[in-house]
Structure 1
């Protein structure tokens, strides 16, 4: 099975979409546990930071694209409060099922609406939200620029688009240690966590194929997001990109 998760640089369009759907359908039940363990519990801090960069105020409306198990949507709901509205969108049924379970255990169930849909063709009107976020998913969409453009479209003028994503650290010694962990150790730990080889081999492969954070910042600016910038966290292993419509 491991071979099916290698050399995915040739995947595009519907083929990549189907492949990514199969990966996340397989790991949905262990996704949160493994994220926390494999990130040494840093994933929670990263999501809080990304949510804060949206500038979402109490009573505001937010969209979390590729919401997965709902963890970033929950951080947005804390900011929006009971008078606010958060919509989480994902194309994977298993991830949405896990999100419903996670959100149902919190006080934010009435604030968050979950919708099944495609990140590249968002089923929302123009200017419908105060902000749009995407967490650890921009690597997995078939068309990065189209996805960010769709997020921009549904955000009102003056609103923010925020991406939280894995990045490529540059500090020489740290970079080598990180890539050894990420490419050699993490897939083995992931295999132990989900019981099969493969899904967590896609993680380092997807990062290898993903543009550097400088290029993503340039993409934000190219599609018309103003004041595009990014923040590197935890030595540059993740980056938060921010742009204003």
Structure 2
């Protein structure tokens, strides 16, 4: 699927996530065989957050990665979750309210392309399963870098492109055909979960994302491939 303008993609993505917010967490867990929890924990472990620290989760969705950050900073820390989709934020409020961290996490409606924070505000900035959905990857990474303090880390958890023979072919059969079918059964709509394989086709390879991190001025840009390379965690440190 090609978009002629950034706004077209932004509007489409907003509509997709508005329509699936109520089932997003349940389907994520089911479609990833419960591995999404492990992936989020690994990503936040790379963020270098300490108790009492201050973290930002960009495109926070239903708040699961923000909650993982909150566990790292503890009750004396602070986490800000930002998203542009009201329905996803409403689900995040529900999820966070059921935890001890409702006083730690602040949810803000905003755009990843123009983060509404001063320079050098946070100890880290994360983005989970959303980098492939933004209109301009370089701009979002640059914005995340801007709002992180010197020495702080920018971390992305995202779908990736596995390279292991046979496993790769089997994964793409599952991802391209079964995921949209299961998603349609789960939410009763055909479009939203077709967006998953469509969005990955045009998303850069994990080595190219690493180069974007480096190009944004992030030092020691590198990545880890998890679960056979179906997801990647990118890390860079602000000089």
Out of 140, 147, 150, the residue aligned to residue 140 of structure 2 is 147
TM-score (norm 2): 0.99
**Cα displacement (A) at 1:9:** 1.9
- Number of aligned residues: 238
1:88 alignment counterpart: 81
1:244 alignment counterpart: 237
1:164 alignment counterpart: 157
2:28 alignment counterpart: 35
1:121 aligns with 2:121: no
**Cα displacement (A) at 1:241:** 0.0
Q: Deviations over 1:53-88 (max 9, x none)?
A: 001000000000000000000000000011100000
Look up the SS of the partner of 1:172 in the other structure. coil
Out of 175, 178, 183, the residue aligned to residue 185 of structure 1 is 178
**Cα displacement (A) at 1:11:** 4.4
2:128 alignment counterpart: 135
1:199 alignment counterpart: 192
TM-score (norm 1): 0.96
Structure 2: unaligned runs, 5 residues or longer: none
**Cα displacement (A) at 1:234:** 0.2
1:3 alignment counterpart: none
User: How large is the Cα RMSD of the aligned pairs?
Assistant: 0.5
Look up the SS of the partner of 2:2 in the other structure. helix
Deviating beyond 4 angstroms after TM superposition, the runs of 4 or more aligned structure 1 residues are none
